[in-house]
Chain A
């Protein structure tokens, strides 16, 4: 066996140099193999944690506002909404539901505008890092 701790001689024998190469490859494979196994283990733990987080929650009661189906809306209205979404969002988007805003919600939205403006001013007053 090649005494590596003593150092390789300047001109090793053929068999000696073959052994040296094999040991070198074993060292490289051991180091990277050890990291591979640890990473597989870590990956499994993180995947399990993700799966726990992604587990569906108990079904929440449906909101009282009825969701309009395609059948309730005129095709022209769907086309207009789709065009508006397409022009305002750069990436591709899929419209899964169109919900009419109820009268009381409209009022609330108007009220919310003031708090939204206040929040915008607070954020604008801070320097972004």
Chain B
């Protein structure tokens, strides 16, 4: 009787609990607190935190993860069992057949071994960009095109962090994957990392998404440090109204130029602009609603939990991951500083039509959190100053800038 109970207990999950799991429960609790109590990007943090909790429980049938002999932590793999069909037995006679016909008998894998393939085979990031495009109004950017330059300047963190990662011993491909965190763009980070350093996917995705949701904590001190009270009070001229035709032309022009310059970013840019074209053309309401709601919402749940499920204590508490997390925040900081300082430079060159430097920080592409942070900081300096729409310009320019930088990394390192 007692032996039977002991045997059963060894089959339960209690035996599988490790100290790394217990440590990660604390991390999960912090993420859930930030999402629910503090309201920091709950749409991202809740699925990530929940996925991380599941990853740190002794589950079966959810996701397969293992540490390979070379130290690489691998998740979402499944086993395919099959039978080689007789017509492919040419190999037995010494010939090497180019194709082997296999009858698949069984595919073994957990729920997320299959769902997370959307991340591995790079389907989720471009489709999320479709939704982002459908939700984004490029009007403020078209009305003030000079803010494109702020979106470019805020990519500074990517390249500085690339250098930092190289100095910390990462290879150039790994450094590119880590640097892209500074773009504050989760789908783009996953897209680049998958192509350049798939073994870092978990750590990079977690860093990118976590820092995106922590933008309201990371950016304000840097913004305040680099600006004076007088600069924060600058009121900008109101934006002109942009016609629908301009918005349609914009979507096409941006897509063509970006694809011509960096063809490797085509999947991201094309989907972003397709989503935006659906929005602005005004004749495909059903498709637009699908892109704005069902598609992006479903993918956010799958992507968030897939990312969270990579946060197993075994891999997350490794020194390599901690270095990536540190480099990620450095990337964010430099990107924020790049945007703010470039806005100040633009004010020196064009003093007659000044820009509030606070909107420079919105050049990181965390839409719309970064723009909201600029607005809130502006209101703290002057409650009658409304910067939100001005900040949306560099914010959406940052999305395009990060995609271009991603294309540069991929094309020069693949």
Contact of A35 among B155, B171, B253, B412 (CB under 8 A): B253
Say if the beta carbon of A61 comes within 8 Å of chain B: no
User: Are the CB atoms of B405 and A28 closer together than 8 Å?
Assistant: yes
Chain A interface residue count, Cβ-Cβ cutoff 8 angstroms = 31
Taking chain A's interface residues, is the majority helix, strand, or loop, or is none over half, making it mixed?
helix
CB neighbors of A among B146-161 (8 A) = 146, 148-149, 151-152, 155-156, 158-160
Q: Which residues of A contact B243 (CB under 8 A)?
A: 46
Contact of A7 among B145, B408, B412 (CB under 8 A): B412
Say if the beta carbon of A12 comes within 8 Å of chain B: yes
Given contacts A27-B408, A29-B152, contact A7 B258 (CB under 8 A): no
> Looking across the interface, which residue of chain B has its beta carbon closest to that of A49?
B243
Chain A 42-68, CB within 8 Å of chain B: the 1/0 string? 110011000000000000000000000
Q: Which residues of B contact A7 (CB under 8 A)?
A: 412-414
Given contacts A36-B148, A43-B142, contact A9 B163 (CB under 8 A): no
Say if the beta carbon of B254 comes within 8 Å of chain A: yes
User: Are the CB atoms of A11 and B172 closer together than 8 Å?
Assistant: yes
Q: How large is the interface on B (under 10, 10 to 19, 20 to 34, 35 or more residues)?
A: 35 or more
Chain B 378-414, CB within 8 Å of chain A: the 1/0 string? 0000000000000000000100110011001100111
> Looking across the interface, which residue of chain A has its beta carbon closest to that of B414?
A7
Whole-angstrom CA separation of A116 from B379 in the bound complex: 49
User: Are the CB atoms of A11 and B171 closer together than 8 Å?
Assistant: yes
Q: Which residues of B contact A47 (CB under 8 A)?
A: 240
CB neighbors of B among A3-37 (8 A) = 4, 7-12, 17-18, 20-21, 24-25, 27-36
CB neighbors of A among B252-277 (8 A) = 253-254, 257-258, 261-262
User: Are the CB atoms of B152 and A28 closer together than 8 Å?
Assistant: yes
Contact of A38 among B253, B258, B262, B401 (CB under 8 A): B253
Chain A 107-129, CB within 8 Å of chain B: the 1/0 string? 00000000000000000000001
CB distance from B248 to the nearest CB of A (A): 11
Q: A27-B261, A31-B152 are in contact. List 5 more A-B contacts (CB 8 A).
A: A4-B412, A7-B414, A21-B163, A24-B409, A39-B145
Binding site for B on A (CB under 8 A): 4, 7-12, 17-18, 20-21, 24-25, 27-36, 38-40, 42-43, 46-47, 129
Which 3 A/B pairs are nearest by Cβ-Cβ distance? A39-B145, A21-B159, A36-B148
